[in-house]
Every structure is written in structure tokens, then in C-alpha cells.
Amino acid sequence: MGRKWNNIKEKKASKDANTSRIYAKFGVEIYVAARQGDPNPESNQALKFVLERAKTYNVPRHIIDRAIEKAKGGSEESYTELRYEGFGPNGSMVIVDALTNNVNRTASDVRAAFGKNGGNMGVSGSVAYMFDATAVIGVEGKTADEVLELLMEADVDVRDILEEDDSVIVYAEPDQFHAVQEAFKTAGISEFTVAELTMLAQNEIALPEDGLAKFEKMIDVLEDLEDVQQVYHNVDLGE
């Protein structure tokens, strides 16, 4: 698969030793999910999913509660979900997902992040066809064979099961996300090292050293944008 999911998560969480940016992004995502449905995660699958992700990033309880209370309070603040596609240095491909209350600002910021760092925006569908929507769930304390056995007993189909460092990472279809989690919880596992719905590149590419440095700078700029929630790409970062 070419991805080190725990390393990617740790890199995001430790960038500039500043987790407040990640917490703020989760606050928006939790608010939007709670506002679009029941603020009770047991009856709102979208909210339940976001809270599972937030847990793996150690988002403080007060940030979660504040976002849900804001949604309950009938706030009129509304957000639009946007997806941008583009190209980075050396033909690399990038997908950017955003939640914004100002579409023009976000479009301008994303376009500038591409343009000033050796990339360019593409039209909708220009790169997404080279990615697969994928559920990624990681656990500790089990071997790949043990995870395979418990998933088979639960009659849950997955794409792949890989061991990474101290975790076992399960790759599955997006609609199997909750089924995989429930299988783990039935087996007594309720803590996850990763719990993501992601866009996984069908093929990763390696960049020359100069191109890689430029690409990583572009990704950092995109991820630092206030409205950007997720950035996906097809470059092997060697992590």
C-alpha cells in the first residue's frame, strides 16, 4: 500500500508542535456533522465517524462538546463541502477536501497554494479517477492473522490487512468502516490507532530530491489552510 498511516498522523499532529490547528479543524467538522443530523452520535453515523477520528488524534473533550453544543444551539453558521483536484511538481496528483463558510476565499487560497509551489489546479475529475475511496482502521495488540480471523468470524470483507510497526492496518471499502469497527469492538477492542476514510492512490510515484522538497512544501501550505480538512496525493514520501 505504500502508506505509513500512523507516521502520517503523527506528522500532522506534531507539525510545529502546534496541535491547535488540527483541533480547530475537527471542531468545524464535528459542528457540521452534528448540525446536519441528530447531535447524538448513536443516531448520527456521520458524527459518530468524526468522533472516532477525533479520538485517534486525542482531540480534547471540551472542543468536542463545544462544537456539539454550538450545533444544538441553532447556530446559523453554515459550511460548504468542497473538493479540489490538481497537479504538483513532476506530474504528482493531489486532492484537497475543504469545509468553508467562504467559498471564494477557499478557492483563492487553494489555487494560490498550488500556483506558488510548482503546481496547478485541475478540473473536477482530473485526478480523482486515479484514487480509490478507502476505509483505513488500525489496532494494536493483534497480529494480522488474528485480525483476519476475527473479521472472517464477523463476516466482514476487507481489501487488505497489513502489519505496520506496532499496529495492524485494515483496508476496506468505505461502506465497511462501521462493520470493521463493530467486529473489533465485539472482540473487545475499542481503541484505534487510525480510523479514517481516505482517498488512496492506485499507484504511488517517487519524485527526485528537488521535486520532493517542492512537493512537500506545497502539501504543507495546503494542509495549513484554515478551510482545508484533508489532503490526499500519490507521492511516496518515504515514511
Q: What percent of the chain has pLDDT over 90?
A: 72
**Residue carrying C-alpha cell 498522523:** 9
**Residue carrying C-alpha cell 465485539:** 186
Asked whether residue 239 is domain-assigned, the answer is: no
Q: Which of 137, 131, 153 is nearest to 200 (CA)?
A: 131
84, 169: one domain? no
Q: Residue 5's CB: how many other CB atoms inside 10 A?
A: 23
* Contacts for 224 with CB less than 8 Å, ≥ 6 apart: 21
Within the chain, residue ranges assigned H as helices are: 5-14, 20-36, 45-56, 61-72, 103-115, 144-153, 177-186, 209-224
CA dist 113 and 217 (Å) reads 9
138, 195: one domain? yes
Domain count, the chain: 3
Q: Which residue has the higher pLDDT, 12 or 61?
A: 61
| pLDDT reported for residue 16 | 46
Q: What are phi and psi of 178, to 5 degrees?
A: -70, -35
| pLDDT reported for residue 89 | 87
For residue 24, pLDDT over 50 is answered with yes
49, 84: one domain? no
| pLDDT reported for residue 30 | 95
The grid coordinates of residue 37 equal 443530523
Task: Work out the mean pLDDT of the chain and round it to a whole number.
Answer: 89
59, 165: one domain? no
Asked whether residue 28 is domain-assigned, the answer is: yes
* Contacts for 142 with CB less than 8 Å, ≥ 6 apart: 150, 168, 189
Asked whether residue 61 is domain-assigned, the answer is: yes
CA dist 233 and 12 (Å) reads 15
**Which pLDDT tens digit goes with each residue over 78-104?**
899 999 999 998 889 999 999 999 999
| pLDDT reported for residue 17 | 47
114, 223: one domain? yes
Asked whether residue 54 is domain-assigned, the answer is: yes
| pLDDT reported for residue 138 | 93
Return the exposure string of 69-94: e unless at least 16 CB atoms fall within 10 Å of the residue's CB, then b.
ebbeeeeeeebeebebbbbbbbebbb
88, 118: one domain? yes
122, 214: one domain? yes
185, 157: one domain? yes
Residue-range definition of the domain harbouring residue 30: 5-72
161, 64: one domain? no
Asked whether residue 50 is domain-assigned, the answer is: yes
Q: Which of 229, 132, 133 is nearest to 177 (CA)?
A: 133
| pLDDT reported for residue 4 | 59
122, 138: one domain? no
148, 187: one domain? yes
197, 210: one domain? no
| pLDDT reported for residue 198 | 93
Q: Looking at residue 102, which CATH number applies to its domain?
A: 3.30.70.980
